[in-house]
């Protein structure tokens, strides 16, 4: 077992998680005070095709540091699934595409911040423009873009 996996396993056991980053069953790390995380999970859990373990983590920065999530791409929750890291409000179809295509050099997908109108952040028909980014050894690249709804302003 590699040093990384031993460290990850120790971290998972410390936080009460029952799965590691490379396990089949996804694990969601979230701040217990954040309600949008569970709204997002309700929309995307079908794309995981497995039960999701939810871990209320006291130190989300440590989780993101451990998983190598770039500072500029961080959001409110982090999910480990199929050997990938999903950061923030990534739409289900992009997660399914990642798990199907398994692109080289990609450690995960991220939607930075908490854009209004992204999955779990709905507010009527208002949607800000947002981008799903890849990150990993291949660098950061645009994976998908979502346009703002009419009348919405991109920030």
Rounded Cα distance, 12 and 53, in Å:
11
pTM of the predicted model over 0.95: no
* Beta carbons of 66 and 115 less than 8 angstroms apart: no
**What are the CA-CA distances from residue 96 to residues 4, 51, 72 (Å)?**
26, 15, 23
Q: What is the CA radius of gyration of the chain?
A: 15
Q: Indicate the SS3 state at residue 39.
A: helix
Handedness of CA 122, 39, 13, 100 (dihedral sign): negative
Tens of pLDDT, residue by residue over 15-74, are: 444 334 444 589 999 998 888 888 888 888 877 778 899 999 999 999 999 999 999 999
């Amino acid at each position: 077992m590699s040093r990384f996996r031993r460290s990850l396993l120790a971290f998972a056991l410390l936080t009460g998680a029952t799965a590691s980053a490379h396990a089949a069953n996804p694990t969601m790390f979230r701040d217990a005070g954040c309600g949008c995380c569970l709204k997002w999970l309700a929309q995307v859990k079908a794309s995981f095709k497995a039960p999701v373990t939810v871990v209320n983590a006291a130190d989300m920065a440590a989780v993101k540091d451990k998983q190598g999530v770039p500072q500029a791409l961080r959001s409110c929750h982090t999910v480990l699934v199929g050997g990938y890291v999903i950061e923030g409000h990534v739409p289900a179809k992009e997660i399914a595409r990642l798990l199907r295509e398994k692109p080289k050099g990609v450690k995960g997908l991220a939607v930075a911040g908490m854009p209004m109108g992204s999955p779990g952040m709905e507010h009527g028909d208002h949607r800000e423009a947002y981008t799903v980014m890849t990150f990993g050894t291949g660098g950061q690249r645009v994976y998908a873009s979502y346009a703002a709804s009419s009348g919405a302003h991109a920030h």
